Structure formats: structure tokens, C-alpha cells
Amino acid sequence: MSVTADQVKEKLTSALEATSVEVVDTSGGCGSAFEVYVVSAQFEGKTLIARHRLVNDALKAEMAHIHALSIKKAQTPAQAAAAAAPASS
């Protein structure tokens, strides 16, 4: 069974009540490697490793078919907003 980027996105959005999820299939389409960018209020007050654990737990069933998962960003909504704000001079 291969996993699609859409399936990963749907699962993360649902499980983490994410406000933003971007999933990039880096496997060339076979569904075995993904990069993910996730923004969720569930990350509030959590360390980076705890955030990564939440992402991995959300994809527990899919991980049996995913060879590589790179969590590029796991941010709170406030962190995402600050990162998107233009730098002041």
C-alpha cells in the first residue's frame, strides 16, 4: 500500500486540528518519503521533540508504509504568524 501526500495532509489536519499543513512527496511519487510543515495549537507549550512525537503518533498507521518522514516545521499559530510577518526596519 502506498501513501499519498493528500492522505498524510488529511490525517495531520484531522489529528492535530492543524490550521496549516503542507506535505511534499520527496519519493518521486511512490509515497515512501515526505517532508511536512505543520501549524497547530496543540504544539503550544511543547518542546520540539514532543511536537515531533505528536506528528509521528498522528501518522502511526501510515508509518508502516513510509520510509522517511522529515518534519521541517512544527509551529504554533503564533510562531507561524511571527515567521510570516515582514521584518521591521
Task: Report the CATH number that the domain containing residue 21 is assigned in CATH.
Answer: 3.30.300.90
Which residues lie across from 23 on neighbouring strands?
A: 36
Q: What is the reported pTM?
A: 0.90
Domain assignment present for 13: yes
- Structural domain of 30: 5-78
Domain assignment present for 64: yes
Distance in angstroms (rounded) separating the CA atoms of residues 3 and 38: 18
Q: What is the pLDDT of residue 89?
A: 55
Per-10-residue mean pLDDT of the chain, 89 residues long, equals 91 98 90 94 98 97 94 97 80
